[in-house]
Amino acid sequence: LEAEDIAEVRSLTGDLHEGDLADLLELLKPEERDQLITQLGHEFNPAALSELDEGVRDQLLATLPAEVVADALQQLDTDDAVYLLEDLAEEDRNAILDQLPRLDQLTLKKSLEYPEDSAGRIMRTEVISVPPFWSVGQTIDFMRESEDLPDRFDEIFVVDPAFHLIGSVALNRLLRSKRHVNIEDITDHDLRPIQAESDQEDVAREFERYNLSSAPVVDQDNRLIGVITADDVVEVVQEEAEEDILRLAGVSSNTGMSDSVWGTTRQRFAWLLVNLATAILASYVISLFDATIEQMVALAVLMPIVASMGGNAGTQTMTVAVRALATRDLGRVNAFRVIGRETAVGLLNGLLFAILMALVTYFWFGRTDLGVIIALAMIVNLVVAGLAGILVPLGLNELGVDPAITSGVFVTTVTDVVGFFAFLGLAALWLL
Near a second copy in 140-159, by CB under 8 A: 140, 143-144, 149, 152-154
The yes or no reply on residue 356 touching a second copy (CB under 8 A) is yes
Strands 224-229 and 214-218: antiparallel
> How far apart, in whole angstroms, are the C-alpha atoms of residue 241 and residue 325?
13
Are 300 and 293 in contact by the 8 Å Cβ rule? The answer is yes
The yes or no reply on residue 276 touching a second copy (CB under 8 A) is yes
Q: Measured from the CB atom, is 93 or 314 closer to a second copy?
A: 314
Residues 255-274 that bind a second copy (CB under 8 A): 255-257, 261-262, 264-265, 268-269, 271-272
The yes or no reply on residue 308 touching a second copy (CB under 8 A) is yes
Among 81, 122, 282, 380, binds a second copy (CB under 8 A): 282
Question: In angstroms, what is the minimal distance from the CB of 126 to a second copy?
Answer: 12
Residues 66-95 that bind a second copy (CB under 8 A): none
> How far apart, in whole angstroms, are the C-alpha atoms of residue 63 and residue 69?
10
Among 55, 193, 250, 395, binds a second copy (CB under 8 A): 250
Residues 93-112 that bind a second copy (CB under 8 A): none
Residue type, 54: E
- Residues 377-396, buried b or exposed e (16+ Cβ, 10 A)? bbbbbbbbbbbbbbbbbbeb
> How far apart, in whole angstroms, are the C-alpha atoms of residue 185 and residue 178?
11
> How far apart, in whole angstroms, are the C-alpha atoms of residue 354 and residue 380?
10
Residues 378-417 that bind a second copy (CB under 8 A): 416
Are 173 and 230 in contact by the 8 Å Cβ rule? The answer is no
Annotate each residue in 285-304 with x if it binds a second copy (CB under 8 A) or - if it does not, as one string: -xx--x--xx--xx-xxxxx
Q: Measured from the CB atom, is 48 or 97 closer to a second copy?
A: 48
The full length of the chain comes to: 432
Q: Measured from the CB atom, is 106 or 249 closer to a second copy?
A: 249
Q: Measured from the CB atom, is 65 or 256 closer to a second copy?
A: 256
Residues 152-211 that bind a second copy (CB under 8 A): 152-154, 170-172, 174-178, 204, 207-211
Which residue, among 209, 211, 218, 26, has the nearest Cα to 119 in the 3D structure?
Answer: 218
Among 6, 28, 245, 431, binds a second copy (CB under 8 A): 245
Which residue, among 191, 225, 212, 50, has the nearest Cα to 123 in the 3D structure?
Answer: 225
Report, in angstroms and rounded to the nearest whole number, the Rg of the chain calculated over CA atoms.
Answer: 30
The yes or no reply on residue 64 touching a second copy (CB under 8 A) is no
